[in-house]
Amino acid sequence: MRRHEGDEPDRGDERPIPSEAGSRRGISVAQVLAVIAVILLVIFAIANSRRVDVNFLFFTSRARVVTVIVLSAILGFVIGYYVGRPRRADRKLLRDFRQRKD
């Protein structure tokens, strides 16, 4: 079937136009910061690779300093996330409030 000038195009013929944010290419600031953080973490791990005695509540173990620091940071993040996270009822109230606002 041929198209004549002035005919409306079929909806299936239209292609979505990419948004400006989606069409950007190259390295973002977040990616650069992530690479810098990884490099600093590797340097930190190499500088703190010696073994030390770690006293737990009921036993003593030998571990690398960097392992102790990273595990402590992860544990602190997890505890902080769950302590600071709003309860289910609070999240529901917030979600309902946002829906009414729109």
Low-confidence ranges of the chain (pLDDT < 70): 1-24, 102
The answer to whether 62 and 53 have CB atoms below 8 angstroms apart is yes
Quote the pLDDT of residue 51.
Answer: 92
The answer to whether 66 and 45 have CB atoms below 8 angstroms apart is yes
Q: Quote the pTM value.
A: 0.48
**pLDDT tens profile 9-18:** 555 555 555 5
